[in-house]
Amino acid sequence: MNRIRFGLIGTSEIAEKMAQALTQCPKTLPKAIYSRSKTKGETFAKKHRIPCVCSTLEDLAKEVDAVYIASPNALHCEQTLFFLERKIPVLCEKPLASNLREVEAMVACAKRNGTYLAEAYKSRWMPAYSLMKEHLADLGPIRNVRFDFSKYSSRYDAHKRGEDVNTFKAEFSNGALLDLGVYCLYPALELFGVPESVSGFGIPVDGGVDGVGCTVMTYDGFLVTLNYSKISTASRACEIQGEEGTMVIDAISTPRKIEIFFRSGAYKAYAPYTEKNDMVYECEAFADALARRDETDGTAFFNAFRILDAVRKSVGIVYPADQK
């Protein structure tokens, strides 16, 4: 089987992990890297044995079958459109874009060119994720859900010292909601559907983005609370509470273990095999989608970004990308 030759955009830690995953997945391989810094690109290529270092997106497009985008959030839309217009499938890191308007343009472009667009939301393809859906009915009527992804940013101390870091800048369309909150929102929408109402709260930090936030979504008979932070760290697991039992998920961003504590006193635990590099699963899923010639479906993207835009509006977070 011919392996899908991927081009990578970005040299961040997550791009490093993807380069390793593309090598480990039998259906894919990293073929080329694009970076605005020639030195960073060459260093990255040497480390991961990538044969091509490209200085322009045009050069990258000539070398690959598909592209993985891990640039700053504000560049996702522009770069994705560049490759979709050339009928090159795109696996774009989350968040897919800065706002709903950009997402609509990206999905329309993929459909117009008959190519495939996916978001690199790795959790969805991990084995434990499917178990969350499979055992949801075991809990009885759902009453209360709490998903939390809070992790103190490694760049926050530098930001507080006034150093110029990209992690807390509105011009890059980042912040707690779009960087971390999406990990909580997507499983909530997939498990429970579109909520009846949404209320969003957040605390801005210097730079014009949210440092910490909370979104409360109401459903018929239960509540879903999403907590996310880049300026503090959570210590508790996530929970789905039903009348008959409570499901405990070790980490909503990278679920590896599912436990169910039943009101009857019974207990069940599921810890399915997980690749050391959990991004291998999404590489396989993307390759399979291309092999099936799947069409781009924007429904999940649209549902998520309607909520993300509404929450940002209520918190007062506005990106330069929103003004374009």
pLDDT over 70 at 103, yes or no: yes
Residue 236: predicted pLDDT: 86
> Is 80 within 8 Å of 69 (Cβ atoms)?
yes
pLDDT at 120: 96
Please name the residues in contact with 310: beta carbons below 8 A apart, sequence gap of 6 or more. Answer: 198, 200
- Cα–Cα distance measured from residue 224 to residue 67, given in angstroms and rounded to the nearest whole number: 34
**Domain shared by 94 and 160, yes or no:** no
- Residue 98 resides in a domain: yes
52-54 and 197-205 beta bridge pairing: unpaired
Residues 71 and 144 reside in one and the same domain:
no
Total domain count, the chain: 2
Do the domain assignments include residue 278?
Answer: no
Q: Is residue 294 part of a domain?
A: no
298 pLDDT higher than 70: yes
pLDDT score recorded for residue 273: 77
Residue 302: is its pLDDT beyond 70?
A: yes
Instruction: Quote the domain boundaries for residue 182.
Output: 127-273
Beta carbons within 10 angstroms of residue 218's beta carbon = 13
Mean pLDDT throughout 158-174?
A: 93
- In a domain, residue 288? The reply is no
Token code pair at residue 290? 């291309």
| Dihedral sign, Cα of residue 298, residue 301, residue 303, residue 307 | negative
| Neighbouring C-alpha atoms within 13 Å toward the C-beta of 47 | 15
What residue type is 19 in one-letter code?
A
Residues 83-92 have a mean pLDDT of 98
CATH number of the domain that residue 68 is part of: 3.40.50.720
In a domain, 40, yes or no: yes
Q: What is the CATH number of the domain that holds 139?
A: 3.30.360.10
Check whether residue 183 and residue 74 sit in a common domain: no
Residue 48 has pLDDT above 80, yes or no: yes
**Same structural domain for residues 176 and 211?**
yes
* 193-208 mean pLDDT: 97
26-43 tens-digit pLDDT: 999 999 999 988 899 999
* 250 and 174 fall within a common domain: yes
Q: What is the pLDDT confidence band of residue 1, given thresholds at 50, 70 and 90?
A: low
Per-residue burial over 229-266, b if 16 or more Cβ lie within 10 Å, else e, is: bbbeebeebbbbbbeebbbbbebbbbbbbbbbbeeeee
Q: What is the mean pLDDT of residues 278-298?
A: 97
Mean pLDDT value of segment 268-297: 93
Residue 28 and residue 166 in one domain: no
DSSP code per residue over 97-130:
SSSHHHHHHHHHHHHHTT--EEEE-GGGGSHHHH
Note whether residue 76 is domain-resident: yes
Q: Provide, rounded to the nearest whole percent, the portion of the chain with pLDDT above 90.
A: 94
Return the pLDDT at 274.
Answer: 78
pLDDT of residue 306: 98
pLDDT confidence of residue 165: 87
CA distances from 141 to 68, 192, 266 (A): 40, 12, 17
pLDDT at 272: 84
Residues for the chain: how many in total? 324
